Amino acid sequence: MKYTEGMTGANFTKVVGFILLGFSDYPNLQGFLFWIFLIIYMSILIGNGLIIVITKIDSALQTPMYFFLGNFSFLEICYTSVTLPKMLMDLCTKNRNISFLNCAVQLCLFLSFGVTECFLLAVMAYDRYVAICRPLYYPLIMNHRVCVYLVIASWIGAIPGQIGQTYQIFSLPFCGSNKLNHAFCDITPVLEVACGDISMNQSAVYAGVVVFAVIPFMLILTSYIKIISSILKLQSVKGRQKAFSTCSSHLIVVSLFFGSGIIMYLRPKSSHFAGTDKVLSLFYNMVTPMFNPLIYSLRNKDVIVAIKKHLPT
């Protein structure tokens, strides 16, 4: 446990580091969880890495849709790499300490990549909207320069707000317990061990979720309402099936990510339980990135054909 002692008329304890309790309440499962998490992490790296490579080298996949998919897969690798290696190390070494600075950096990166994912999913929905609802203008609207700008904006647009959010949280006084009942540094467990009034911080968290998650989610829903309306008007049954197949993959990913994330951060404080929070956080931080390559490849004939074409015979 990392503490420093000081005097200001009375003894007090100031936290300068945290202990991530993680799954320490299941001592007999530490080895099992290590191998499960390691397999999941390797699956994320290999699956998303394969998507990145195949969208780069196959000429048939040089379209905006797969440009965004390649960037999305890279983002998933970054997103999980912020937390999973530390979790694996904690399970292996049983040393769950994390410094104050490292916890702040982990939280900032975790939030930044999470918000970037919200933005990028909204961009991907807009791409599908233009492709299906305005096909004649698609090459003009979604040219390469616009695609690059949208990706850059998704990455950069998330950074300032999350740096401010992290600074606000870690500017709070932390005194007393330094144990975070979580697998990594997340907003809720960090605020739980903060001293003083955290109502302003909680309000800022809710506002951030609305701006950076709920609004992109509503934009995605609006896009897909229009997309589905246009698909239903198509005369060709084969055309409807292809359009639904392409869009349903994205909708599944959106539902998994936004569903677990919004439930996690918008629930009332009274309904937060450490066990539930851990499961939800693992779901959007590990399970969704692991299934993304499967969802996009198994439901996408173009990706399957490209992978088969480049596999050694």
Nearest alpha-carbon partner for 155 in 199, 118, 106: 118
Residue 9: inside a domain: no
Structural domain includes residue 147: yes
Total-model pTM: 0.87
In a domain? residue 248: yes
Q: What domain count does the chain have?
A: 1
Residue 5 lies in a domain: no
Terminal-to-terminal C-alpha distance of the chain? 55
Q: Which residues of the chain have pLDDT under 50?
A: 1-12
CATH code of the domain in which 172 resides:
1.20.1070.10
Enclosing domain of residue 87: 16-310
What's the pLDDT at 298? 65
Check residue 7 and give its pLDDT: 37
Give the CA count within 13 Å in the CB-facing half-sphere of 182. 24
Comparing C-alpha atoms, which of 180, 190, 186 is closest to residue 20?
180
Predicted local confidence at residue 10, as pLDDT: 43
Residue 4 lies in a domain: no
Asked whether residue 10 is domain-assigned, the answer is no
Examine residue 2 and state whether it is found in any structural domain, yes or no: no
- For residue 247, being part of any structural domain is answered with yes
Q: What was the pLDDT predicted at 150?
A: 95
Residue pLDDT, tens place only, 177-193: 788 888 899 888 898 88
pLDDT confidence of residue 192: 86
Mean of the per-residue pLDDT values for the chain? 83
Q: Which of 309, 108, 67, 275 is nearest to 190 (CA)?
A: 108
